[in-house]
Amino acid sequence: MMKLKIETFAIILLAVKGAAAITSISTDPPNNPLATGFNNLIVTAQFPTPTSNTDACSWYYGGELDSDGSGASFYSGIFGGCDLPLPGTYDSITCTEQTIDGTSHTITTLTITQPLVAGNVNIEVRCTTAITPGSITRSAQDCPSSLSYGVVVTSSSRTYQASGMFSCTTGDLFYSNGTALPFGDTTCLANAEWNGQNNLQCASATAKISADPPNNPLATGFNNLIVTAQFPTPNDSTEACAWYYGGELDSGSGSGAQFYTGLLGGCVAPSPGTYDSITCTEQTIDGTSQIITTLTITQPLVAGNVNIEVRCVISTNTPGPIPRTVQDCPSSLSYGVVITSSFRTYQASGKFSCPTGDLFYSNGTAPSSSNTICLANAQWLAQDNLQCTGASPGTKISTNPPNNPLATGFNNFIVTAQFPTPKDTSDQCTWFYGGELDSGSGASFYSGAFGCDPPAPGTYDTITCTEQTIDGTNHIITTLTISQPLVAGDVNIEVRCSLAATPGPITRTVQDCPSSLSYGVVITSSSRTYQASGMVSCPTGDLFYSNGTAPSSSNTMCLANAQWLAQHDLQCTGASPGTKISTNPSNNPLATGFNNLIVTAQFPTPTDSTEACSWLYGGELGSGSGAQFYSGVFGGCVVPSPGTYDSITCTEQTIDGASHMITTLTITQPLVAGNLNIEVRCAIAVIIPGSVTRLVQDCPSSLPYAVVVTSSSQTYQASGMFSCPTGDLFYSNGTALPSGDTVCLANAEWSGQDTLQCWSASDPFMTGNLIVPEGDTTSLNCNYDETVFPEVTSSIFYFDELGYIVSKGEMFHLKLEKEDNMKPISCQVVTPYTQIYNDTGRSRVEHVNVQYKAVSNDGKDIVFSNGYEQHYLYTRNQVTSSDEGTYKLTLSHLLPPYNYTIEFDITVVNIYPLPTPDKTGAIVGGTVAAVALICITVVVALYITTRQPTKNGKSNTS
């Protein structure tokens, strides 16, 4: 008992240590610096709830609620927890307590709506005794008046949301990728930057520079950085151009590494160095001669900032510099994860670990290995979303693949569990998952008495079990492999031991790959299960990824994660990057009566001053001629006044350096059944997003698997009731529906309808011979209605109160002896439904009729005739007058009326003296006496066919 207390105390300590990793402070927005004048800064802190009743916690930030520097108290142990001050004019505080990973935490927010002034803002949470996340500092500053590469910003103010204008003293405004900036309008953002300023330059249209890999930062020691620059060929014969980067070919003298000279007629790249090389070519692009030059640095990069630049003596049409930060991969990550490594440079090996708790990803899966490697982007391989949890050391459960959801039909699902070896010899550990080896009572794989003892492999499931020493402690590692194709629904898999602690359950949702994606993409496929082939297409427009590239093929395949191959960021657009149309909700179809459909379109701002753009959708504002929202004559957006059921918005935004129109149409008029076609049209522009079509229809009155929906209406938000003509409502995973109430949703489906089925049991009947001579074997079938759902998996034959399981499609073979005569037999079909309701799915009880050799009471001679009549010959070797009298004969029969009792008289006709006993005399004497009884047999047969005797029950009397 004392030992148990000590172990429990150790677990509590681990939970507290694990909770410390969830102590944090953050701001929204997270930017540093922030713009002067920003007026909605939200700071959130989280830490374990103080355990002392004398503790008190406050925000320190020097603001309105903390005007005297003593802090703004929000938590008091004396008053039982959160104790907030009244909101101020510019500041407010919230406080809640929540249980996270089994530990109580305090979560508090400070919202500052007072416009920030220039300088540092230091914000801190302090408690009298408890550990808190400390402080966070944000710097507030003006948006800049000028940028790199000669860009100037003209503005009357440089505070948050102030308007400004980009311009160039010489040259034109371009982004480093060569895209021109159509308009110079900008706004000061919350991060103290101007909207659209990144990579903006005063240069020529074709001047650009890029790095491969494009990562920033790069890992220390990375040794294959390729930088490419492109710019118009200089037209001055005295021109010279060089790379400046401080490397081998550019020793730092300031002269750079020259690759072009007008005096020598063009490209004159230097000889390759040991660690650096330069190339230079001239190409005609869009009718203009261009220089394309590359710098390859194979010297391992050292930590710090690397500034790489192309400069020409005369020309200003160069792309400017490209800076890269070089740094080590980190020694630790968020949530307490530590990386142990002798180096933290590119391709160095490392190992993830936790000071307390175990390594888990945020989705609950454990990493397959703790080994890692430093990547080119200065991050460790597989570091994203990795956490140290408060789980018991060495106790974890994971799946391979780790995806959630999984695709319907996936057929090689592996679940691995690890936990300390149980110490009690009476302990037993079992997998529970509802599969082949787990018929309901679990599949045992470990016994304290025998150790690992997995069951024999099934057709679709196998279990393994091994014992290993991990960190000096003996552990059980067990795997469950399910090769049975998964069916749609939730799969709950769990390891349980009678006494020992286990890692708990893990749930995976199994579902089909979708039939459609966002932005109008449709997938055509005969099946949506794992590895099914499909074709992506657009009802209108063309297929593009969000980065503007077209897919190489429209062929796709359903993957294990219930997504189509290469589906991410795929869109149906008007064949132009940044051009798209979408609806919210994105469902197709939509329910009749849905009344808040929002359609958003985005496309490049038209450049023609006579342009006009409208929404066409046949609604209130677009009754036929369209609802105009853009006019080039009037300078841009000209939205109509809102209607009763429709409204339109229009804004212009700079996206990827180009001006775009973003317009929304909101329809609050309840939708009517049919096809709703919504379109943006412009008078001149062809780069528009086209149309989007939504099918509007009622929620269905019936569903697959015989489910019926009763409702007075089938429109959006109408109430309904699920029911079954026969049987009961179940989901495909075997969960009973607790209530049939449902509501019509926006996607024209009833809430809770997915995988809902009507389950019932068939009324089976047996076929086969039930009249069998003793010693023979009969073969029986359990026949059933195959249209009844769920499907039959096997059958059970009940004979003499014993059950015999027979696989689906097989016969039951039964050898019968005379002792089996008149024993009851019946069968039951096995389905998930009959496993729940065991008294269903059974045939009527019948009885076997075993033809056997009858035995007289005195054990004398017996005559047995094969056939459907069973004859009984009663003989006496010595007949006397005392044999006369009334005899009673009871006959048993398989069918009603079962038992017959017949009374008859025997009269001795003649009595002859017996000769000396010998075989002949015995036969003769027996023959004389038997004459009357043989006649009686015939009479009995006639009697059975002409009379209906009294039914005496089912007991066998002979």
The pLDDT of residue 813 is: 94
Contact in structure between 177 and 200 (CB atoms under 8 Å): no
Q: How far apart are CA 28 and CA 373, in angstroms?
A: 32
Provide mean pLDDT across the span 166-178: 70
CA end-to-end span of the chain, whole Å?
66
Q: Which two tokens stand for residue 411?
A: 């057929």
Provide mean pLDDT across the span 598-625: 82
Higher per-residue pLDDT: 121 or 717: 717
Higher per-residue pLDDT: 855 or 57: 57
Q: State the burial class of residue 255 (Cβ atoms within 10 Å of its Cβ: 0-12, 13-18, 19+).
A: exposed
What residues are paired with 711 via a beta bridge?
A: none
pLDDT, one tens digit per residue, over 800-811 is 878 899 998 899
The pLDDT of residue 916 is: 46
Q: How far apart are CA 837 and CA 820, in angstroms?
A: 29
pLDDT, one tens digit per residue, over 374-388 is 998 899 988 877 777
Q: Which of 201, 189, 192, 194 is nearest to 165 (CA)?
A: 194
Q: Which of 336, 328, 376, 375 is nearest to 352 (CA)?
A: 336
Cis peptide before 405 (omega within 30 of 0): yes
pLDDT, one tens digit per residue, over 193-237 is 988 888 777 765 457 788 888 778 899 999 989 998 888 888 888
Higher per-residue pLDDT: 137 or 363: 137
Q: What is the mean pLDDT of the chain?
A: 79
The phi-psi region of residue 61 (left if phi > 0; otherwise alpha if psi is between -120 and 50; otherwise beta) is: alpha
- Which residues, in sequence order, are CB contacts of 756 under 8 Å at separation 6+? 703, 705, 707, 722, 729, 730, 731, 737
Q: Which two tokens stand for residue 307?
A: 């500034």
- Which residues, in sequence order, are CB contacts of 845 under 8 Å at separation 6+? 824, 825, 826
Q: How far apart are CA 852 and CA 225, in angstroms?
A: 95
Asked if the model's pLDDT at residue 447 lies above 50, the reply is: yes
Q: How far apart are CA 42 and CA 863, in angstroms?
A: 104
The pLDDT of residue 332 is: 86
Q: How far apart are CA 662 and CA 242, in angstroms?
A: 43
The gap from C-alpha 884 to its chain's centroid, in whole angstroms, comes to 89
The gap from C-alpha 320 to its chain's centroid, in whole angstroms, comes to 46
SS (H, E, C) 398-445: EEECCCCCEECCCCCEEEEEEEECCCCCCCEEEEECCCCCCCCCCEEE
Cis peptide before 232 (omega within 30 of 0): no
Least confident of 243-247, 467-471, 714-718, 901-905: 901-905
* DSSP assigned state of 835: H
Q: How far apart are CA 586 and CA 598, in angstroms?
A: 9
- Which residues, in sequence order, are CB contacts of 67 under 8 Å at separation 6+? none
What residues are paired with 398 via a beta bridge?
A: 416
Q: How far apart are CA 607 and CA 187, in angstroms?
A: 22
Asked if the model's pLDDT at residue 366 lies above 80, the reply is: no
The phi-psi region of residue 727 (left if phi > 0; otherwise alpha if psi is between -120 and 50; otherwise beta) is: left
Q: How far apart are CA 749 and CA 766, in angstroms?
A: 42
Asked if the model's pLDDT at residue 365 lies above 60, the reply is: yes
- Which residues, in sequence order, are CB contacts of 330 under 8 Å at separation 6+? 339, 344, 378, 379, 380
pLDDT, one tens digit per residue, over 882-927 is 667 776 666 655 555 556 666 767 777 665 554 444 433 322 333 3
Provide mean pLDDT across the span 677-695: 77
Higher per-residue pLDDT: 172 or 177: 172
Higher per-residue pLDDT: 543 or 115: 115
pLDDT, one tens digit per residue, over 414-432 is 998 888 888 888 888 899 8
| pTM reported for the whole predicted model | 0.36
The pLDDT of residue 921 is: 30
The pLDDT of residue 128 is: 84
* DSSP assigned state of 934: H
- Which residues, in sequence order, are CB contacts of 787 under 8 Å at separation 6+? none
The pLDDT of residue 21 is: 38
How does DSSP assign 40-109, residue by residue?
A: -EEEEEEEEPP--TT-EEEEESSSSTT-SSS-EEEEETTTTEE-PPPP-SSEEEEEEEEEETTEEEEEEE
Cα 652 to Cα 30, 57, 265, 409, 582: the distances in Å are 26, 46, 47, 47, 18
pLDDT, one tens digit per residue, over 486-499 is 888 888 888 888 87
The pLDDT of residue 335 is: 65
What residues are paired with 200 via a beta bridge?
A: 175
Q: How far apart are CA 223 and CA 348, in angstroms?
A: 13
Provide mean pLDDT across the span 642-660: 86
Provide mean pLDDT across the span 650-655: 88
- Which residues, in sequence order, are CB contacts of 362 under 8 Å at separation 6+? 385, 387
Asked if the model's pLDDT at residue 466 lies above 50, the reply is: yes
Cα 897 to Cα 579, 901, 949: the distances in Å are 85, 11, 8
Confidence of residue 122 (pLDDT cuts 50, 70, 90): confident
pLDDT, one tens digit per residue, over 731-790 is 888 888 888 899 999 999 999 998 899 999 888 999 999 999 989 999 999 999 888 888
Confidence of residue 90 (pLDDT cuts 50, 70, 90): confident
The pLDDT of residue 138 is: 85
Q: 124 — phi, psi (to 5°)?
A: -145, 145
Q: Which of 133, 137, 146 is nearest to 34 (CA)?
A: 137
Q: Which two tokens stand for residue 352?
A: 């993830």
Which residue is associated with the tokens 């691995």?
Answer: 416
The pLDDT of residue 951 is: 27
Q: How far apart are CA 407 and CA 565, in angstroms?
A: 12
Length reported for the chain: 958
The pLDDT of residue 867 is: 39
Radius of gyration of the chain (CA): 43
Pairing between β-strand 771-773 and β-strand 849-851 as defined by DSSP bridges: parallel
pLDDT, one tens digit per residue, over 852-876 is 765 555 554 444 444 334 444 455 5
Q: Which of 195, 187, 142, 183 is nearest to 164 (CA)?
A: 187
The pLDDT of residue 182 is: 65
The pLDDT of residue 870 is: 47
- Which residues, in sequence order, are CB contacts of 294 under 8 Å at separation 6+? 226, 227, 228, 229, 278, 279
Contact in structure between 282 and 260 (CB atoms under 8 Å): no
Q: What is the largest CA-CA distance in the chain?
A: 158
Confidence of residue 507 (pLDDT cuts 50, 70, 90): confident
The pLDDT of residue 139 is: 85
Q: How far apart are CA 699 and CA 743, in angstroms?
A: 9
pLDDT, one tens digit per residue, over 307-341 is 888 888 887 677 777 888 899 999 888 767 889 99
